[in-house]
Amino acid sequence: MKMTIGEIVKAIDASIDDQTDKALQTEVVGVCFDTRKLTPGQLFIPLNGSHDGHDFIDKAIQGGAAATLWGRDHADRLPLEIPALVVDDPLTAFQKLSRYYLTKINPRVIAVTGSNGKTTTKDMIASVLSDEFNVTKTYDNFNNEIGVPYTILQMDSNTDFLVVEMGMDRPGQLDFLSKLVQPDVAIITMIGEAHIEFFGTRDKIADTKMEITHGLKADGYFIYDGDEPLLVERAKQVDFAKMTFGRSKTDDVYATETSDGQYDTSFKVNLWPEQKITIPMMGDYNVNNALAAIAVGKLFQIPQIEIVRKLSKFDLTKNRTEWLTGKNGEKILSDVYNSNPTAAREVLSAFSRTPVSGRRIVVLGDMLELGLKSPQMHASLAKEINSNEIAMVYLIGEDMKALYEKLKPVFAPENLHYYRADQLDQLSEDLRKELQADDEVMLKASHGLHLENVVTRLTA
């Protein structure tokens, strides 16, 4: 993003005391709401979270901020060292600025949501499009009311496609995000139990996921899992061009001849029956994510050879089914960014089939936001943990007690371990002592458990 302060003032209808040409013509080269990451020339966005962002203005000035948004309710302590753009609410102004910039650059927008697979699908789509077009994609999981505007404002001026991931934890969130970006293509990867604490049923989750179509352009495409009855039923109610993906011959894009490897997965697709496609991820469940990316490639006329090549080597966001090597030489499957029952079952199933000369060891942390049925959902994972395939199990978090109790009759005490959520250090130390070069260890949990810290301890 490159805009003058004067252009920003007009775009968000801000007031500014310094009306000099020098101030208004000053160029801003990005936005930042975290002073620890701010670089010179950026616009500081003082957001309210656990702290009031306005309290960090001195650090923003020291870091070289070119200007700052400033809440009108903080006008009694207006900074004097840099231009302050006074607005009613910095977050709303930030979102308004992103909409202005999106309209200015005018890329085609692909929006992706789903209970599982949205980050992987986003990465795959961006890769498929990247040879033919200039593509910007959501960084990491910046997928909420702050992350989506931030992603937009990171676009280069020559961006042809914006591939934006959209998260959801309450009704109305996707409605807002979809209307903000006004996508050309809206994609729902699948309906699972993620955030079921807030919605109660998968039906209500499906209703809320459909909000992604609320901002879809009239000539846009809706791409969805054609094997999910909840989506098939709701897709009939929206008047957009549609494409489906899945495993049924009734889908527009469907997979055949799927085969799992330890580090990759291969399959064929109805569009090119003789073509073998390989993605650098284990797990049959990732094939559907690739099918969604293939549907996008087909829609925008990407050549077959390019789609196949780009899927074979796309850049996967960190901590999503990522294979690493530990300090003891063990193989580590890090899938610690998020977790829910559907995702956990899929990864456990795939991991249980990997070839290994030593032991398979599983580390599972709490799956958050599952509501009153959380203990039962955690305990249900026992069906995917076979003691003939998994040698040891390490569990951490309050809700994982239910799985611990379920597995007690199956595993010897020395092979089944439980930790409180605040015992990450102890878990890390015990794993470091236990793991050997021939072992494989899988780690999965919701991000709130911070198992990424355990991965760091095992690899650093």
Q: Binding site residues for ATP, as ranges?
A: 114-120
Q: Which stretch of DSSP H or E encloses residue 286? A: helix 286-299
Contacts 24+ apart (CB under 8 A), 4-11: 4/28, 5/66, 5/67, 5/83, 5/85, 8/43, 8/67, 8/85, 8/97, 9/85, 11/96, 11/97, 11/100, 11/101
DSSP letters of 383-441?
GG--TTT--EEEEESSTHHHHHHHHTTTS-GGGEEEE-TT-HHHHHHHHHHH--TT-EE
- Feature table: binding site: 114-120
Is the Cβ–Cβ distance between 94 and 193 less than 8 Å?
A: no
Identify the CA nearest to 226 among candidates 278, 274, 160, 295.
295
Which DSSP category does 190 fall into? -
CA 152 to chain centre: 15
Distance in angstroms (rounded) separating the CA atoms of residues 259 and 103: 43
Tokens for 430?
A: 């015990």
Identify the CA nearest to 46 among candidates 59, 62, 34, 36.
34
Identify the CA nearest to 190 among candidates 168, 173, 206.
206
Tokens for 30?
A: 């990005």
Tokens for 1?
A: 């993003």
Is the Cβ–Cβ distance between 264 and 311 less than 8 Å?
A: no
Q: Which stretch of DSSP H or E encloses residue 222? A: strand 221-225
Distance in angstroms (rounded) separating the CA atoms of residues 225 and 232: 8
Which residues are CB-contacts of 42 (< 8 A; sequence separation ≥ 6)?
A: 28, 29, 30, 31, 32, 64, 65, 66
Question: Any idea which residue has 């990491």 for tokens?
Answer: 140
Distance in angstroms (rounded) separating the CA atoms of residues 126 and 133: 9
Distance in angstroms (rounded) separating the CA atoms of residues 370 and 373: 6
